[in-house]
Structures are given as C-alpha cells and as structure tokens.
Structure 1
C-alpha cells in the first residue's frame, strides 16, 4: 500500500492460472523437505516454455498462436535447431500437469504459534494493517488447478489425447476389417481422415484463456477500495500497459521493462519499455500517477502516455465537502 493512496500488486493473485494458493504460508512438504508451492502458470514456464527454444514466457504474444502458426514457426525456425520439439512440449506439458496436481492438494506447512506474527510482518512490510492482509488474501481467485481438464486444455494435452485416440480407433477399424477381408495397411488413412473431422471441429473450438479474463473487475475494485481506501491500483503480470477506470479505482498496468520481440531475430519490437511513475502533484493536492514509455534512442527518452491532472484522493475530498 504505497502512500496510503495506491495498492501495488504484481497481479498474479487475480489470475486463476498463476494464483498462489496460500501466499501467507507458501511452503509445502515434498519428500520430507520444505518446498515453495509453485502455481500452474509458473510451472508451465519452467518445464515447457523455457525448453522450447525461441518462446519468451514473459510475453504472451510471443508464444500464444494458432495451430497453423505453430507449424509455420516450427518449419521456419526449429526444424534444424530443435527437431524433437514435439517431445519437448509433450514431456514439459506432462511434467507441468503432474507436478501441478500433486503439489496443489498438499497441505501448507504452518506453525500455529507464528500465524499472527506472519500476518503482522507482512502488513508492516506492505505498509498495511493485519486486517487488510487477511481481507485481501480472501479476494484471491480460485486456482485453475482445481479443474484438471482446464489446465490440460491450456497445455494442449487434451488435443494430443484425442488425436491418439482417433488414430488408435482408425487402426482398430482396419485390423477388424482385415480379419474378414485382407486389405493394405494404407487403408488406415480412410478411417483416420473420418475421425479427424470431429477432432478438427473440437480443436478449432478451443480458445486460450491466458490473460483473457481481466485481473480487476468492478466488484473486485469496489472491495479493494473498501478494504484499503486506495483509489489507484498498479498491476503488472499481463505486461499490457494501460490505464482505465474500473469502478471506484483507476487501474494502471506497468507493462514490461525488459525488451520483447515478436521474432527470434529480434527485429520486431513488441511495444516499448513502460513504467508507472507516482510523484507529488504540482498543485500540492497529493500524489498523481503517470504511465510512461522509455525510448532510449531519443534525446528525451521519457514520454508520458497518460497522466493524472490531480490526485484522486483530493477529488474524493472535494466531493465529500460538496456533499456536506
């Protein structure tokens, strides 16, 4: 809680794919050793995306593509450098699914004598109160790992499973026909193509849900305002710089500071380096925020995308005085 007027959070606790189940007590016991419970989205970046060559796990535009785009990308960049990419994806996706489900349901390691001390320590470092910490913790969204089929769909494992089932059924059809009437194994392509029709219909109907749901909804914004009193929220996580009004709160997304590119040759930039700058207002009314770009090649590298004209706290005070 910055300056009493701004709630600053990375934002992952409001994303079902990346929410930490218990941020106050994040440790679990694995094989007799304490381990940090890692959410599904981070496990996917660790075990799958990091091993798939040219994809940047911190920029969704770099790795979320259609099936046709993935095939085109593979033949253009990865056929010679990473020909076993399908195996890398399958192993990484399976490891992500298995570890996510295994660790999600393990109980948190808690010391009952330190519960209040932990909350007070978090509150002190966050410039908040223990009550705020407990209430904000309740606002976190349910984890996507509660639905195993949902995360399997995000990893494309559902389509891999249905594809294998379709090919297996096609082969079984040919085998059973061959018992009564000897035919060439090449006839397997006929039932395979038939089974591919419902598979293609299903695959085309699936849409990625990564970052599709907004991190801050009007209901959530209202609750955050009532809990913290903040009129301004700064998130990151989605790496999409923006400023918008959500309920009683002005939402800023700081975008990303590291450079991101759309192609492995690093010639097509994905946006600019952006950040949120909070500073005292010139009229002394409080603090104002700016969403800025950093253009290193220019003489004046800082360029404001959006700037508040006055502090939202002072605006609330004026309205309260007018109402009185």
Structure 2
C-alpha cells in the first residue's frame, strides 16, 4: 500500500542578530527604562506646565498646578504606549497581545481626537457649548488634543507590528467587528441627518461630538475585556507589559484629580458635567488597570517572565503552528 509522502514544514527563519552597538543600547534601555521614563515625564510635565500659558478660566495658582498635572498625565498616557511596542520588538512575537484591544483603540482614539480637536480649535463648537452651559467654556486643553493624535499614530504602529510578528491564533473577533461596525454606522447616520437638517435642535454638531465621546467611552469599557480574557486563558501576562498598565493607571488618576481640582477652584463643576467622557475614562482605565496588576503580580506572578517567551521562541522557531 502506497504512502503519501509528508512535505516538511517550511522553517521559520531565525531573526537577524542585533549588532553589538544596538544590543548594548537595548540592554541599557532595559536596565534603565524606569528612571528614563520618570525623567521624561518630569521634563514634559514641569517643562510644558510652566512654559506654556495656563488656563485663564481657572484662578491662580491652581491654573498653573492644573497645567502641570495635565502635562504629567499627558506624558504618562503617551509614554504608556511605547513599552508595549518595545516589548513586541524585543520578543518578535505578539501572541500575548489581544488584536481586539488594538482595533478598539484605533477607533476609540480616532473618535477622541476628533472630539477634542473640535472643542479646542472650532469657535462654532465653543460658542455652541457656552450657549448650552450658561457661558462656561469647555475644559478641553491642548494636552488632550495632542494626546489623542499621538495615541492614534502609536496604536497604528502597534497594529503594524501584529502584521510582521507571529501572533499565534490571534485574530479580530466577530464581536469586535460587529460592535465597531454598529458604532461607525450610528456616527455616520447622525452626521448625515445633521447635514440634511441643520436647523434640528437634536442633530447638532455639538451632539455629534458628544456621540463620538460616548463611543470612545463605550469602547474604553469593553476594550480591556479581550486582553483580560487572553491573560486568563494563557494563565500568563507574558507579552502584555505591566509598564503600560502602571503608566495608564497614573494617567487616569491624575486626569480625575485635574478635573476635580479645576471644578473646585473655579466653583464651576461644568468642567465635569460638560466633559463626562474625560471623567469616566479615568475611572474606567483605573478599574481595569487594577485587574491587570492583580493578574501580573498575584495570579500569574510565576509565569510572567519575558525571558520565558524568548526561550520559547528559540525552541519553537521551526514550528509550523507559529503563524505570521
């Protein structure tokens, strides 16, 4: 009886070794990553906080303190994206990173960027906001705008990494696709109705921007769930950097502190009620960050070493199941 010959699996090529100079630089960053990050955050926070004009709608000296806090949490949130990119590059593997999380982030931060940009730069939106809130200006500041822009760009870079590094069985779920398709459909329909009926008291530009903010908030409430489940399923946080979580928690806490301080110092709580997405985002991110810290430091503390993945990659470099 004839047997069918087995075609050998095409071996996955070994990664190109780093040059000594690059290797030394990577090791130096790994050893000194925390102090480098703290120094960058301090320079951005205090440098821009003192160097740029403070919010004139808040009494002194609270406006200067608010500015510093704003730029510090901007730095925390902005830098929080980069440890994951560095980890993906170091491991040459993204199996520990949820693709749903990345796709949710791209759509969410795009909505957040449009929302903040319109509130900060559009005079018509600012006037419409004041008319709705008894003349009080909105609380969006320049650091909110640039954080959103930076977040979109860096998240797109992370998505690109998932196309060039092995991701195992990782793929975007139908739930993620369905929810985002529904959200985008509602956003587009709202804008079409606004353009067709510009005199409508409900389908206004301001309410459309609020819709974007609520989409961002909704995404933030669900985007972490796939990553939490992936960590639970793998019983490990390998491939999901804890520095991202710690920086995100710090940024969320400071953003809430800034909003509360601004409202209390100006005796005007419209900065909270008029910008609910910023207030809720801080609490949402901190809630999930606590879950991630529990997974990393308590539940899976014995299986979260990056060195384990590097060894695993070497052992399975020729595995036909390691799909790109």
Greater strand proportion: 1
Greater helix proportion: 2
- What's the TM-score once normalised by structure 1's chain length? 0.28
Q: Which one has the largest radius of gyration?
A: 1
- What's the TM-score once normalised by structure 2's chain length? 0.28
Higher relative contact order (CA 8 A, sep 6+): 2
